[in-house]
Amino acid sequence: MSDIDPQLPEITEPPAAPRVVVEPRRSRKGAFLFGALSGCLFVLLGVFLLGILVAAGRSGGGDLSLSMNRIAVLPIEGEIVESRETIETLHKYAENDSIKAIVIRINSPGGAIAPSQEIYSEIRKIRKRIDKPIIASMDSVAASGGYYIAAACDQIVANPGTITGSIGVIMQWLEYEELVKWAKMRPETITSGELKSAGSPFKRLSDAERQYLQRIVLQLHSQFVKAVVEGRQGRMNASEVGVVSDGRVFTGEEALALKLVDRLGNLDDAVTMAAGLAGVKGEPDILYPRRRNRTLFDLLADNGESKSLLEQVIKGRAARFLYMWEAAQGLHSVK
């Protein structure tokens, strides 16, 4: 007799649990690298476009342009005290194949002799070495050292009212002898020679000192005249230059009649002339140099404000030989 009750259900094994298949996770390295490379490309493209916009902004109208027929404008403004920056820019423009001509825009009464001569000489060297027209465009004033530089160019364009000429040399300073006596001061000077202190503001010139300084002024004047004769060769002879080399200034209109300049016109006319001489067709793209901003070092090095008023006056009116036009003469001058 079986012990199993027929009334009880048959015991069976429980059904097996469903099998869960876990798929391996796909690697995201490929997508990450693709995204990183795409981002880098977009950044590089943005930098490239920004560079183009910056370069275009330095051209005349600021329009986006990759022109290979550009005219560079190089300004010379104010008193000429140094030549390094101007010469560096000249070299950069001369060696740039996309720049077909250079316009020297002059608005200066002149200044120190050596920088004027250095810029003149460099323009002449570039003209001989590279077939690239260099045109002078005169603004309000292009006198003395300003004209000296212009004479080195292929052509000179002046406005009718431009003040130019002033082919001459000036040495000028203030004499403080009576002021020093009034202040009960007595400056002492020890020199190695009789003429070493010639031009000192603390004493009057002796006849020997005046002759000595006058000789130097005349020699520097002769150098100026010679430079103008060489620069204006084929348009003015030595005799014609000599007639206008007595320090007088002229309007642009007078200068044209005297052959000191080649034509009347503004900056646009000078650019058009430069483009024509360079064989540029159509409207040229104009390039201006980027202005140099003063750095913190410049501000720290500039200690002019810390000087006393007397020191600034004395140093500002120290004796200097200049290719400079000055409408107001000082108290003591040698010309």
Each residue of 50-70: pLDDT tens digit? 655 444 444 433 334 456 889
144 is catalytic: yes
137 and 105 in contact (C-beta within 8 Å)?
A: yes
Q: Which two tokens stand for residue 297?
A: 């070092």
pLDDT value at residue 33: 65
Q: Is residue 48 part of a domain?
A: no
The strand pairing partners of 173, in sequence order, are: 332
Count structural domains, the chain: 1
- Per annotation, catalytic residue among 196, 226, 307, 315: 196
The strand pairing partners of 155, in sequence order, are: 135
pLDDT tens profile 125-171: 999 999 899 999 999 999 999 999 999 999 999 999 999 999 999 98
Q: Is residue 297 part of a domain?
A: no
Phi, psi (deg, nearest 5) at residue 307: -80, 150
Annotate 31-49 with DSSP letters as a single string.
HHHHHHHHHHHHHHHHHHH
Computed on alpha carbons and rounded to an integer, the radius of gyration of the chain in Å comes to 37
Phi, psi (deg, nearest 5) at residue 308: -70, 160
As a whole number, mean pLDDT of residues 99-125 equals: 96
Task: Indicate which CATH number applies to the domain containing 321.
Answer: 3.90.226.10
Q: Is residue 285 part of a domain?
A: yes
How would you classify the pairing of strands 332-334 and 170-173?
A: antiparallel
- Per annotation, catalytic residue among 144, 166, 200, 245: 144
Task: Measure the CA–CA gap between 324 and 236, rounded to whole angstroms.
Answer: 22
Rounded to two decimals, the pTM is 0.73
Domain boundaries, position 271? 60-291+310-334
pLDDT value at residue 177: 81
196 is catalytic: yes
As a whole number, mean pLDDT of residues 215-241 equals: 96
Dihedral (CA of 310, 315, 321, 325) sign? negative
pLDDT tens profile 264-309: 999 999 999 999 999 998 888 999 877 666 555 554 545 444 444 4
To which residue do tokens 């016109």 refer? Answer: 265
pLDDT at position 223 over 70 = yes
pLDDT at position 312 over 60 = no
